[in-house]
Amino acid sequence: MTSRTVTLLDVARTAGVSKSTASDALQGSGRVAEATRDRVRAVAEELGYRPNSAARRLRRASTGAIGLHLPQTATRLDYYMNLAFGAVARAQEDGFDVVLLAPASTTGSAGGTGGATGPGGASGSGRASGPVASRVDGLLVIDPEVGDSAVPGLLDAGVPVVTGERYLGPTAAPTGAVICDNAASLTALLDHVTARGARRPAVLAPAGTSAWATALRATAASWGQEHGVDVALRTVPFAATPGEAEETTLALLRADPAVDAVICAPDGAAPGVLRAAGTLGRPVRAAGTLGRPVGPGAPPAATTHSREAPKAPKAPAPLLVASCVDGTATRSAEPPVTAVDLRPAAYGRACAELLCDILAGRTPPDTVRRHAWALETRASTTAGPA
């Protein structure tokens, strides 16, 4: 049997249940025992059953689509493109198409065009309840900013809304959310560079009012207070370019040469930090690998004599470089840059999965799920002296 010939009746007969029970089990509706639901889904997967999306939409008066709202800067960032691909792939598994909501369209119909736009990309107050709700079954709103005037209307659109990260604004709460522990990820980077010898770290933190940007700025300050370290905090645009990161880093290192590690937050901007280090002659390598060992068991310092050979010029202090977002730019840089892998495609899948689960009744509203990240250490913080 192929996926083109398998019907719901085939699934029901193989699983030993009625057609209506099989339908409820696959849609997550009705009163179906969990064991029966699992058996029906396993049979459907084994047979290669694919639901008739058009018929299913008619039965539940569904549009068969969900809307995806991304920050305005998303079109040039690898992170959001990978996230969108992950969301689309997961939504299709439940028979949903994904409609990308252009910033100007959030006050009009989904996928259409709107009128004049405000600071957040939407005209007027950003209310979108009627038109958007009539075009989609639910919404994914990724990294919602308090300053995005479209977001309040999306949250009040009359359909289930799942946000990627929390919304810090005063409007209605979303139906569900998928969040990362952004404070923990920056803490891991700061712990890592100090373990590699950094004593004066700096953070190029993103501007803006998203939960991610807010958490990174707050964490840089709180980590410094907790460890008794003066973290040099500089604010850069949310989607800073490598050129903007380079300019900020040059100014930072010229004003504060003691800085020995730079953690760059925005996606794709870290190569600019590397260029700044090269311009100033700062080798990018781990400070902890340089110099004479200290502490118990270390060899004694060389004896000082009255007649010493002239000292060689002091070598430029090494600089560690890391990024809060992994991607092509960090992996292909020279040297490759240590970064936090936020697993954007998996994150997009997780957001779409939560929305699909809520729409199907498999998960109650107000559900918050957590998404895991990983620290990828590379030569920009681990390499020894050349």
Backbone angles phi, psi at 321, to 5 degrees: -130, 135
Helix ranges restricted to H, 120-208: 129-133, 151-155, 182-195
pLDDT reported for residue 362: 92
The token duo for 353 is 């999965």
Structure tokens of 118? 């405000």
Q: Shortest CA distance to 223 belongs to which of 184, 266, 187?
A: 187
In single-letter form, the type of residue at position 147 comes to: G
Q: What is the pLDDT along the chain (386 residues), one digit of tens a residue?
A: 444 568 888 888 999 988 778 877 887 666 788 889 889 989 988 888 876 554 444 444 578 999 999 988 777 789 999 999 999 999 999 999 999 987 644 443 333 333 322 223 333 334 444 567 668 999 999 999 998 889 998 998 889 999 999 999 987 789 999 999 999 999 999 999 999 999 999 999 999 999 999 999 999 999 999 999 999 999 999 999 999 999 999 999 999 999 999 999 999 999 999 999 999 999 997 654 433 332 333 344 444 444 555 565 567 789 999 999 999 999 999 999 999 999 999 999 999 999 999 999 999 999 999 999 999 999 999 965 44
Classify residue 11 by burial, with Cβ atoms within 10 Å: 0-12, 13-18, 19+. buried
Provide the strand spans (E) within 27-137.
65-69, 97-100
pTM assigned to the model = 0.73
- In 239-327, which residue ranges form alpha helices assigned H by DSSP? 242-255, 270-279
What is the per-residue pLDDT for 117? Answer: 29
- Predicted confidence at residue 295, as pLDDT, reads 30
Token reading at 289: 């690998």
